[in-house]
Amino acid sequence: MDWGQLWEITSAPDNVPIVAMLFLVPFFTWYGFRQALANDRLIDRLEKDPELAKTHHRKVEPYREGWAQKLYVWPHLLRVEFLAAIIVTVILMIWSITLNAPLEEPANPNLTMNPAKAPWYFLGLQEMLVYFDPWIAGVVMPTFILIGLIIIPYVDTNPLGNGYYTYRQRKFAILTFLFGFFVLWLSMVFIGTFIRGPGWMWFWPGQTWDHHRLVFEVNRDLHEIFGIVSQPWVGLFGAAAVGLYFVVFGWLTHKLFVWNDFNRKIYHQMTLVQYLTLLSFLLVMWALPLKIILRLLFRIKNVMVTPWFNI
Amino acid sequence: MSNLVQRFLSWWHTRKLDQRPVPKEDPIAKSSLATVTAVFSLLLILTLVWALYDEIWGLRPWITYQRDFVENYREVLIDLKPRRGEEVQAIQALPGYQELRQGVEEAETEIAPELAEIEAEERLVRLELAAISKTFTTERSRLQAAIYLLETAGDAQKEGLETELEVLREGPYLLEIPDADGNIEANEYTYEQMEEKFNSLKSRQGELQGDKVELLREPTRRRRELDAYLNARLTSLTETQVDGLLSGLDNSRIEIKQIHNPELGLVDRCESCHAGTREPVLLTAEAMGGKRVFTSHPHPELLQIHDPETFGCTPCHNGNGVATVGTTEAHGQYKHWLWPLYPSENIEAGCLQCHEADRYLEISPTLDAGKQIFNEGCIGCHAREGFDPESQQLRETQRSLTDLLTRKTETQLQIERTIGTADRAQTNEEAERLYAEADALTMNIAGIDTEFAHLQAREAGLMMAFKRVGPNLKEVRVKLKKEWIPDWIQNPHDFRPTTKMPRFRLEEDQVRAISAFIWQSGIEAELPRQPSGDPVQGKTLFETRGCMACHSMGEGEEATGGTFAANLSRVGEKANYDYLVRWIHDPKQRTLPYCPIHEREITPEDYASQGLPFEFDLEHNHCPLGDHLLQVQQPTVMPNLRLTPEEARDIASYLMTRAHEDAEYAPAPYLDDPDLREEGRSLVQNFGCASCHEISGFENEGKLGTDLTKEGSKPIERLDFGLLTSQAKHDGWYDQKGFFQRKLENPEIFDEGKSKEPLERLKMPNFDLSPEEITQLTTFLLGSVDSKFPETAFYQPSDQRKEIQKGWWLVRKYNCVACHQFTPAQEATVLEELPLYQDPDWREQLPPSLVGEGARVDPNWLARFLKNPALEENNLNRNGVRSYLEARMPTFDLSDEETQQLVRFFSALSKQSIPYTAPALQPLSSRELTLARELFTHTAAPCLKCHATGDLVTDPDATAPNFLLIPGRLKPDWTERWIVHPEIIRPGTNMPSGLFRQEGQRWVFAPADLPSLRGYDQDHAKLMVRYMFQYSPAEQRRLTGR
């Protein structure tokens, strides 16, 4: 266990925010979930007690006599905001005094850093490059991410859950989002920051970043395993594999989606276009962890190989 | 305790938000954030204070440094004043000072009365002027304004204005002018009178001032002399100067002190903390409160040469000149600054980037030694710009020659073709045209021939100048005892701890294979058998002929002699006597010449096949099988001492007695095993033996190692620390210095822990360097950088100083410094320190100092001397100039270019201009000849008592150079200076001084007042010089009868 190496990585000024993320993200997730679950319990009570449901409610509990129904921004909101501002300022001051901006050596175009890492917001994409080819990882998937985020309001036909935390009423949305955020985004960032070392090799935390390390990571394409080597069979095989993926996983996802009654209601509310759009985006999302498993465990690099792009 | 735990547990168990006890009051409306806000506001204030502190002091340590400095410096200066005062008093007590002060006082007393008069009058004039100035100047302006009005007025007003003007001119003006006695006289003046008075007073004032200056001229001059006397003797500052410094301190501002040189892109802020570097007072750490940061620069003379305002600090010291936030940053000792401060033992590395061309700098012995070691050995395997240029130049020249030959052959073919076509031409015109073409091509061939001859001459010179680091291994069969060879290869340092040859990491079978290959690839020849010599005589010769300037004898602590060449304590165990005799007699002699074009030795059979006699030397250096040059000499720097064959045998016999009695060598029959030859050959290629040695089949091998020209700039990522990388980082030696030091200590260190095939392991062998040598080489490597400064900043003089730079390379290459001094500041020569020469009798036997040689001798003569120091063709076993010296000036077989470079070197050192034409001296009239002979033969100036004359009978007792060499050897102006003041040119010389004294503008013979010379009003020294320069053997016979 090389503590020195661990310290070197976690204390690098560039990585300090990611370390902070490791604590803040679980905290806020827990915080939200606590609220959501308490709200769910309230919903339960209210569903059983219609009289109570008609009264005013405050956060996780019903309203009490004498409590304010409305509060003014000043002083109540602004007070809190002011305190928040002070706290943030204190944190910023301490951070800027103790951690200096990393002014490194003068740029030398003849000497590339190893590893040469993108800033954290692109580390996810850089990590994806391990699993997908640059066209897919750098253009297609980011486009899907953006468009996917944009179309959320258009495919989200669940009217519940506006303005309050709830888990039960928004299971699908929450789980999909958490999947996309934690697995597809944060874990990639984490891997890119802490796990990937020289040569973009996999180093567990505490393993020394040895530049001379040699690993066996000879990758092959899916068609090579099946012995298909000449075009156009290769391309056709790949297209078939991808098609198979969409069909099989599409069916599985559908089954998952209509698992419980609540979701089935939502399903019946959606139009075909909405549903198909949602499904295709979900399937693209699923592709990433699938490719990760294929690559890391089975050393399979590409499923579909064409002269123009690979998947 | 358990209460707390219970409360914690109940809190934990009721974490669910909706299960917590309901507060009585509205939690949001009634909650008070006052405490939290107060706490965080306090924190905010504290962080603000912290930020302010950091900003003002934390990030600006130089503020505290400068404040400390001013305090400590002030104390130092205040302490200094009384001591300075004492020193001043001591100087003022000196008789010289008293004399001057008396002179000043005399001069001042002399002029005192007149001065008083002038000053009195001056005072009076001043008072008078004071009295009238105000009125006069006022009225003058009024008048001038009125004149202007008049001039510019219309005719109508003119009359009125004129009247007014008249009034003004009339006045009268009342002036109260004091006179000499102090009485005040009141008088009325018109304007004109007033003006006249004023002007006369003013001019009188000027006159008086002029007179005063004239009067004070002599006393001022004497006073200035007095002050100069004091200042010249003061070791540093006077009291006033110290006061000046103190007031400077009082007015000093605390600010960033920066040196900025935009041409070099240099910004150095080192002096913001190192405030005492350039102070005129010597500051020590103790004096400055124990703070080393405030000490003075240890070499102020360096700062004189390299003005810090131009050079700053970082070009020499490295580090981060712009950083001011802390010591680590400013010294560049953090990960991201790639040029950290040089440690003090490697400080001279900073000199190298500008002084690449210099081989000798007085101030940088570590760097010089590093260059020396590098040139002696490392250059065999590691290429580096500026070192060993001859090998590359030789290769290029040979390539050009081959190209020329090819071109010539092609051109010849073309001529034949053209002529053939011309012969078969249809028309006359065409034939003529083609014939003309063939003619033109023939002229081309003439051009090629000229170029060829020119290049071949260059090649010959380069072949002479090209030297190899190690001995020629083609000669092993005739040179060595075969059983010794494997022992040596296994570990050279066992046999000879001081050898340059390193220890390779070889298995026993590899040693056998290599030895077998070397043995079998050697030339087989029979050397003429030499009769044995006298070892006792040989020992004397060895110790007196000068061998010990380069070679040492004796082992370990008892070794005496030079370290430039091998220690010969055990040479009897390895050598073949016949070869040793040949070598000592002429080291450059080869058994067979080598042809670089045919890539083999040329044998007597080859010569016989062309009907040529088997002889090869510098005059006969053409290959019998083609038009190219042969390598006819051994590529060794060892010179030819022009010994007789007898002397060579004596010395060889002595050396053969140098051996360990109990040394045993295992028999080595495998040396002749042909099966081992191929394996040995590939091993020799693998380990790069041919980088240093001449080996059959490997004459053109390149250099096996890395090019080290810019090694100091190598990014740390490109230095392979192997498996020791993380340990190096952890222990703090993960930088260039750490790499170089450890690699030099143990070249295979970075293979540690690796499992590699034997032939894949790191190849660099182990030299067993001492820690000093490692520091010297590390300094050299650290300084070999890719400089970020423009070339204009480097020390690359284009005038004579370049010749000095180049000359030092030659002088170090051939180790001239072991016997001779070239500059006064050079360290002692090897011979000077030998026990033999500590004996006062032997002191005179030291080779001459060459300080000022360029001023002394004719450079054309010097070139001839360097070519053949015996100065004659027949009896070579002598020194041409100082035949009485036992130590022999050897023949170095320098190429023409090297000889000329040395001549230019000497001229440049003495700032002589080249080319030199000997001035024509006026021949002596018969009267002058008589006078000169009288002086020459006078008993007080017995020149021939000490000077050699080429007479074999008397010369062995001589102690001064051959007199008959003066014309042609010396320069007349130097000779004149020499005979007048030899003690200035060569302190401690036996040449008597005081032979001439000055009489007016000329030098006259001092010891005696010869009557015949009374009538001669010319300079006696010049007369003597003219006589000496026409001294000849005839004159010699006339004077001495011999």
Share of chain B above pLDDT 90, in %: 61
Neighboring chain B residues of A87 at a CB cutoff of 8 Å:
40
Kindly determine whether residue B25 and residue A66, on different chains, have CB atoms separated by under 8 Å: yes
Per-residue tokens: B113: 């009365």
Q: Are B476 and B522 in contact (CB under 8 A)?
A: yes
Neighboring chain B residues of A111 at a CB cutoff of 8 Å:
715, 717
Check whether B236 has a pLDDT greater than 70.
Answer: no
Give A244 or B1011, the one with higher predicted confidence: A244
Q: Are B539 and B533 in contact (CB under 8 A)?
A: no
Check whether B715 has a pLDDT greater than 90.
Answer: no
Lowest mean pLDDT among A97-106, B582-591, B923-932, B1027-1036: A97-106
- What is the 3-class SS of A97-122, one letter each residue? HHCCCCCCCCCCCCCCCCCCCCCHHH
Amino acid at B157: Q
Interval B997-1012 mean pLDDT: 85
Instruction: State the count of interchain CB pairs (< 8 A) between A and B.
Output: 79
Per-residue tokens: B811: 């002088």
Phi, psi of A172 (to 5 degrees): -60, -50
From A84, which residue of chain B is nearest by alpha-carbon distance?
B37
Give B142 or B12, the one with higher predicted confidence: B142
Task: Write the pLDDT tens digit of every residue in B69-126.
Answer: 999 999 998 888 777 778 888 888 888 899 899 999 999 999 999 999 999 999 999 9
Interval B243-258 mean pLDDT: 92
Q: Give the model's confidence band at A65: pLDDT under 50 very low, under 70 low, under 90 confident, else very high.
A: confident
Work out the minimum CA distance from A13 to partner chain B, whole angstroms: 14
Work out the minimum CA distance from A21 to partner chain B, whole angstroms: 23
From A79, which residue of chain B is nearest by alpha-carbon distance?
B33
Task: Write the pLDDT tens digit of every residue in A179-237.
Answer: 999 999 999 999 999 999 999 999 999 898 988 888 888 888 898 888 888 888 888 89
Task: Write the pLDDT tens digit of every residue in B615-628.
Answer: 998 999 999 998 88
Residues in chain A whose beta carbon is closer than 8 A to a beta carbon of chain B? Answer: 2, 4, 34-35, 37-38, 41-42, 59-61, 64, 66-68, 71, 76, 79-80, 82-83, 86-87, 89-90, 93-94, 96-97, 102-106, 108, 111, 114, 208, 210-212
Indicate the helix (H) or strand (E) that contains B589: strand B589-595
Residues in chain B whose beta carbon is closer than 8 A to a beta carbon of chain A? Answer: 15-18, 22, 25-26, 28-29, 33, 36-37, 40-41, 43-44, 47-48, 50-51, 54, 336-338, 715, 717, 722-723, 725-726, 730
Residues A170 and A26: their CA atoms lie apart, in Å, by 19
Q: Are B600 and B594 in contact (CB under 8 A)?
A: yes
Work out the minimum CA distance from B677 to partner chain A, whole angstroms: 37
Tell the burial category of A106 from Cβ atoms under 10 Å away from its Cβ (0-12, 13-18, 19+).
exposed
Q: Are B276 and B288 in contact (CB under 8 A)?
A: yes
Q: Give the model's confidence band at A108: pLDDT under 50 very low, under 70 low, under 90 confident, else very high.
A: confident
Share of chain A above pLDDT 70, in %: 100
Neighboring chain A residues of B314 at a CB cutoff of 8 Å:
none
Kindly determine whether residue B40 and residue A86, on different chains, have CB atoms separated by under 8 Å: yes
Task: State residue A104's pLDDT score.
Answer: 78
Task: Write the pLDDT tens digit of every residue in B651-695.
Answer: 999 999 999 999 899 999 999 999 999 999 999 999 999 999 999
Task: State residue B589's pLDDT score.
Answer: 94
Neighboring chain B residues of A67 at a CB cutoff of 8 Å:
26, 29
Task: State residue B815's pLDDT score.
Answer: 95
Task: Write the pLDDT tens digit of every residue in B164-181.
Answer: 889 988 888 888 888 888
What's the mean per-residue pLDDT of chain B? 91
Task: Select the residue of A61, A66, A83 nearest B18 (Cβ to Cβ).
Answer: A61
CA-angle at B375, arms to B374 and B379, nearest 5°: 80
Task: Select the residue of B25, B44, B723 nearest A90 (Cβ to Cβ).
Answer: B44
Nearest CA to B401 out of B596, B632, B617, B601 is that of B596
Check whether B345 has a pLDDT greater than 80.
Answer: yes
Residues B1040 and B1034: their CA atoms lie apart, in Å, by 10
Per-residue tokens: B632: 């006819």
Work out the minimum CA distance from B43 to partner chain A, whole angstroms: 7
Question: B989-1014 burial by CB neighbour count: b if 16+ within 10 A, else e?
Answer: eebeeebbeeeeeebbbbeeebeebe
How far lies B630's CA from each of B557, B591, B611, B621, B624, in Å? 43, 13, 18, 5, 9
Task: Select the residue of B26, B41, B50 nearest A68 (Cβ to Cβ).
Answer: B26
Please count the other Cβ atoms lying within 10 Å of the Cβ belonging to residue A291.
Answer: 21
Amino acid at B196: E
Task: State residue B14's pLDDT score.
Answer: 65
Kindly determine whether residue B725 and residue A80, on different chains, have CB atoms separated by under 8 Å: no
Per-residue tokens: B125: 């004039």
Beta bridge partner(s), residue B261 = B266
Q: How many residues does chain A have?
A: 311
Kindly determine whether residue B715 and residue A104, on different chains, have CB atoms separated by under 8 Å: no
Task: State residue B1042's pLDDT score.
Answer: 66
Residues A210 and B41: their CA atoms lie apart, in Å, by 47
Phi-psi sector, B600: left (phi>0), alpha (psi -120 to 50), beta: beta
Alpha helices in B93-187, H assignment, sequence order: 95-152, 155-170
Tell the burial category of B842 from Cβ atoms under 10 Å away from its Cβ (0-12, 13-18, 19+).
middle
Helices and strands of chain A, counted as H and E runs = 13, 2
Task: Write the pLDDT tens digit of every residue in B830-850.
Answer: 999 999 999 888 888 999 999
Pairing of strands B996-999, B631-633: unpaired
Q: Is B436 helix (H, G, I), strand (E, B) or coil?
A: helix
Q: Are B545 and B888 in contact (CB under 8 A)?
A: yes
Residues B846 and B837: their CA atoms lie apart, in Å, by 7
Neighboring chain A residues of B26 at a CB cutoff of 8 Å:
64, 66-68
CA-angle at B418, arms to B415 and B423, nearest 5°: 125
Per-residue tokens: B909: 């050192």
Work out the minimum CA distance from A105 to partner chain B, whole angstroms: 5
Residue of A78, A100, A105, A211 to mutate, interface with B, max B Cβ within 10 Å: A105
> Which stretches of chain A are assigned E, i.e. beta strand?
57-58, 61-62
Which residues lie closer than 8 Å to B571 by C-beta, 6 or more apart?
A: B580, B655, B656, B658, B659
Task: State residue A23's pLDDT score.
Answer: 95
Lowest mean pLDDT among B17-26, B315-324, B789-798: B17-26
Work out the minimum CA distance from A31 to partner chain B, whole angstroms: 11
Q: Is A170 helix (H, G, I), strand (E, B) or coil?
A: helix
Neighboring chain A residues of B56 at a CB cutoff of 8 Å:
none
Kindly determine whether residue B18 and residue A34, on different chains, have CB atoms separated by under 8 Å: no
Residue of A86, A95, A99 to mutate, interface with B, max B Cβ within 10 Å: A86
Residue of B24, B25, B31, B43 to mutate, interface with A, max A Cβ within 10 Å: B43
Task: Select the residue of B18, B44, B337 nearest A105 (Cβ to Cβ).
Answer: B337
Residues B100 and B96: their CA atoms lie apart, in Å, by 6
- DSSP 8-state secondary structure symbol assigned to residue A139: I
